[in-house]
């Protein structure tokens, strides 16, 4: 799948202040992502860049030692959230996706600018229903201020279905 | 028997292509009882991909036949299970099992005659 | 299949004879050779279809012949299907598997391929034992390797299945390609994005219809279960479901959409 258009940026930084992981994280080179890390991915709001974002989600979950189903679920949930947002994004705007890697939990916040002619995000779709099933918690943020966001949590152990 | 082979990632970009191919698959000889989609090479299946598969399953059902899905990678089975849509399809591990089921697999299903 | 019938017609009785032999019958081997030699043009034809992908034709014919042997071994004439509709997918399936493995081997080092195999075994073992999907750390412990290697192996497995859909979409029936199939069925096909299309349609359904559709298709309930839940008869559920689906279908079909 080709990746085109203006390139996105991936930035990673330590969480502020006392969010440092109390347990022994990082028991070897390249093993487990330190809990308390924040990873932010910004791309143009284009469906062609979603594969990149979901790959980041999948990689973070694997490094945070999520079980394989939970990794799969997070990848799909992030894909779904991003696809939903790209649909309503203003032309030429960007998609901002933040991953907050905690102990046994990843919090994701994705957001786009909708411009003036805001198309409302409907939660009456198959996609939204799937998103609710995949994520442990999901919330739509539409406050009419020209941006729409989706916030979701995924725990490291997938709930048995 | 027709088998549609799908490789790659099925998401919002590629689902329409899959939808077209499924439409074409189900256009073929609707009297044929078996229509199958080999998803063994699929590394990602988004809800948009699930939606086209579900529609195809219903169309096949309306034609009086079952849509078989082949391939058992987690990327495919997990979305099907999580959404409960696995029940709409006949799921088989691969082409070999489909052929075995349709034609009788002599290497495994053979009954030896007593001498 | 009439051209094929005349060309291969003399083999049909042999297929029946072969299928009727016991596995340890001494005549099996000679008969199998005759069948494989007789049907070899099919394997060669399928191999040629894949020849533009940069693999030597001889190699492809060899792989296709393995598929043909499998087809000859597994075919049961009493099931009523002709040999071709059984052999063609079997043979091209073999060739495709070859390409996927080949392409993957070129990109992935030997060490990771081995790791991929070990991981798969560990995953199914652990899934059974734990009753859930394992974590990378659990796989690493089971295999006695560092987590980093497991992560690398998992990534490689993903690469195995991530080639472009457009490139690889193909159909296994005779020599028809998806391009041809799609061309023939063009008028029927929807080119709309379902996300976009379903949204307004589901939104405009009455509460009860929406509930029924949701329960049936996304909640996996039977019509009878839905009838109980919603408090109407199963027949009524069936009728509402059919009406609703018609409506969804016509809305999703660009040709009948009134806009």
Cβ pair A67:C218 closer than 8 A? no
Q: How close A132 gets to chain C, by Cα (Å)?
A: 12
Q: Residue C150: its pLDDT value, please?
A: 94
* Below-70 pLDDT ranges, chain C: 1-6, 53, 80, 103-108, 159-205, 207, 210, 213-223, 225, 244-259
Q: Residue A154: its pLDDT value, please?
A: 96
A48 vs A36: CA distance, rounded Å: 29
Instruction: Name the closest residue on chain B to residue A86, using Cα atoms.
Output: B12
Q: At what angle do helices C147-160 and C136-143 cross, to 10 degrees?
A: 110
CB contacts of A45 in chain B (<8 Å) are none
Q: How close A42 gets to chain C, by Cα (Å)?
A: 23
Q: Domains for chain B: give ranges and CATH numbers.
A: 2-103 (3.30.750.24)
Q: How close A12 gets to chain B, by Cα (Å)?
A: 26
C139 vs C172: CA distance, rounded Å: 37
Residue A23 contacts C where some CB pair is shorter than 8 Å: no
- Give the model confidence (pLDDT) of B51-81 as tens digits: 999 999 988 888 888 899 988 788 899 999 8
Cβ pair B11:A134 closer than 8 A? no
Mean pLDDT for chain C overall? 72
CB contacts of A83 in chain B (<8 Å) are 11-12, 46, 48
Q: Residue C84: its pLDDT value, please?
A: 80
By DSSP bridging, strand A147-155 and strand B90-92 are unpaired
Q: Residue C92: its pLDDT value, please?
A: 80
Q: Residue A7: its pLDDT value, please?
A: 43
Cβ pair A30:C164 closer than 8 A? no
Q: Residue A106: its pLDDT value, please?
A: 97
Q: How close A24 gets to chain B, by Cα (Å)?
A: 30
Task: Give the H/E segment covering residue A126.
Answer: helix A126-134
Count of CA atoms in the C-beta half-sphere (13 A) of A39 = 22
- Tell me the β-bridge partners of B3: B36, C172
Q: At what angle do helices C234-252 and C194-204 cross, to 10 degrees?
A: 140
Among the partner residues C134, C147, C218, nearest to A67 by beta-carbon distance? C134
Q: Residue A73: its pLDDT value, please?
A: 94
For chain A, how big is the Rg over CA atoms in Å?
Answer: 16
Q: Which residue has the higher pLDDT, A3 or B48?
A: B48
Q: What's the order of all strands across the beta sheet hosting B66-70?
A: B90-92, B66-70, B34-45, B2-10, C170-172
C91 vs C85: CA distance, rounded Å: 11
A160 vs A157: CA distance, rounded Å: 9
* Below-70 pLDDT ranges, chain A: 1-35, 117-118, 159-161
Mean pLDDT of B35-40: 84
Q: Domains for chain A: give ranges and CATH numbers.
A: 37-155 (3.30.565.10)
H-assigned helices in chain C: 2-8, 12-20, 28-49, 57-74, 83-107, 110-130, 136-143, 147-160, 165-168, 178-184, 194-204, 207-213, 223-230, 234-252
C32 vs C15: CA distance, rounded Å: 9
CB contacts of A158 in chain C (<8 Å) are 132-133
Q: Residue C201: its pLDDT value, please?
A: 58
Q: Residue A158: its pLDDT value, please?
A: 77
Q: Residue C68: its pLDDT value, please?
A: 92
Among the partner residues A73, A79, A133, nearest to B46 by beta-carbon distance? A79
Confidence check: pLDDT of B1 > 70: no
């Amino acid at each position: 799948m080709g990746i085109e258009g203006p390139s996105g940026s991936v930035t990673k930084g330590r969480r502020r202040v006392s969010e440092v992981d109390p347990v022994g994280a990082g028991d070897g080179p390249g093993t487990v992502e330190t809990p308390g890390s924040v990873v932010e991915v910004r791309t143009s709001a284009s469906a062609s860049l979603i594969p990149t974002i979901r790959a980041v989600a999948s990689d973070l979950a694997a490094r945070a030692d999520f079980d394989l189903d939970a990794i799969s679920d997070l990848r799909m949930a992030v894909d779904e959230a991003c696809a939903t947002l790209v649909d309503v994004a203003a032309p030429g705007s960007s998609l901002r996706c933040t991953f907050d890697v905690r102990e046994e939990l990843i919090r994701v916040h994705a957001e786009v600018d909708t411009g003036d002619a805001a198309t409302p995000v409907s939660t009456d779709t198959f996609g939204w229903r799937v998103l609710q099933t995949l994520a442990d918690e999901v919330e739509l943020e539409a406050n009419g201020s020209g941006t729409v966001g989706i916030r979701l949590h995924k725990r490291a152990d997938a709930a048995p279905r | 028997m027709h088998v549609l082979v799908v490789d790659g990632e099925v998401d919002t970009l590629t689902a329409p292509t899959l939808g077209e191919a499924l439409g074409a698959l189900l256009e073929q000889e609707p009297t044929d009882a078996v229509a199958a989609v080999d998803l063994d090479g699929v590394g990602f299946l988004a809800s948009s991909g699930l939606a086209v598969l579900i529609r195809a399953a219903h169309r096949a059902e309306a034609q009086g036949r079952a849509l078989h899905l082949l391939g058992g990678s987690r990327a495919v089975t997990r979305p099907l299970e999580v959404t409960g849509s696995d029940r709409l399809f006949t799921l088989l591990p691969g082409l070999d099992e489909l052929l075995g089921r349709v034609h009788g697999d002599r290497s495994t299903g053979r009954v030896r005659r007593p001498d | 299949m009439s051209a094929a019938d005349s060309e291969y017609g003399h083999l049909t009785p042999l297929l029946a004879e072969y299928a009727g032999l016991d596995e340890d019958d001494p005549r099996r081997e000679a008969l199998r050779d005759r069948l494989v030699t007789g049907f070899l043009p099919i394997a060669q034809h399928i191999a040629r279809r894949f020849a533009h992908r940069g693999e030597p034709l001889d190699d492809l014919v060899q792989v296709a012949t393995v598929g043909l042997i499998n087809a000859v071994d597994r075919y049961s004439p009493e099931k009523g299907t002709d040999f071709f509709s059984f052999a063609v997918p079997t043979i091209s399936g073999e060739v495709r598997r070859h390409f996927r493995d080949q392409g993957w081997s070129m990109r992935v080092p030997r060490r990771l391929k081995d790791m991929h195999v070990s991981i798969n075994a560990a995953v199914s073992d652990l899934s059974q034992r734990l009753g859930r999907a394992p974590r990378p750390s659990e796989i690493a412990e089971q295999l006695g390797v560092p987590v980093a290697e497991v992560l690398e192996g998992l990534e490689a497995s993903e690469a195995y299945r991530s080639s472009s859909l457009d490139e690889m979409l193909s159909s296994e029936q005779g020599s028809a390609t998806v391009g041809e199939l799609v061309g023939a069925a063009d008028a029927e096909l929807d080119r709309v994005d379902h996300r976009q299309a379903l949204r307004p349609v589901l939104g405009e359904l009455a509460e009860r219809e929406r509930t029924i559709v949701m329960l049936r298709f996304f909640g996996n309930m039977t019509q009878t279960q839905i009838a109980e839940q919603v408090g109407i008869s199963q027949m009524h559920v069936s009728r509402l479901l059919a009406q609703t689906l018609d409506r969804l279908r016509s809305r999703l079909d660009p040709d009948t959409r009134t806009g």
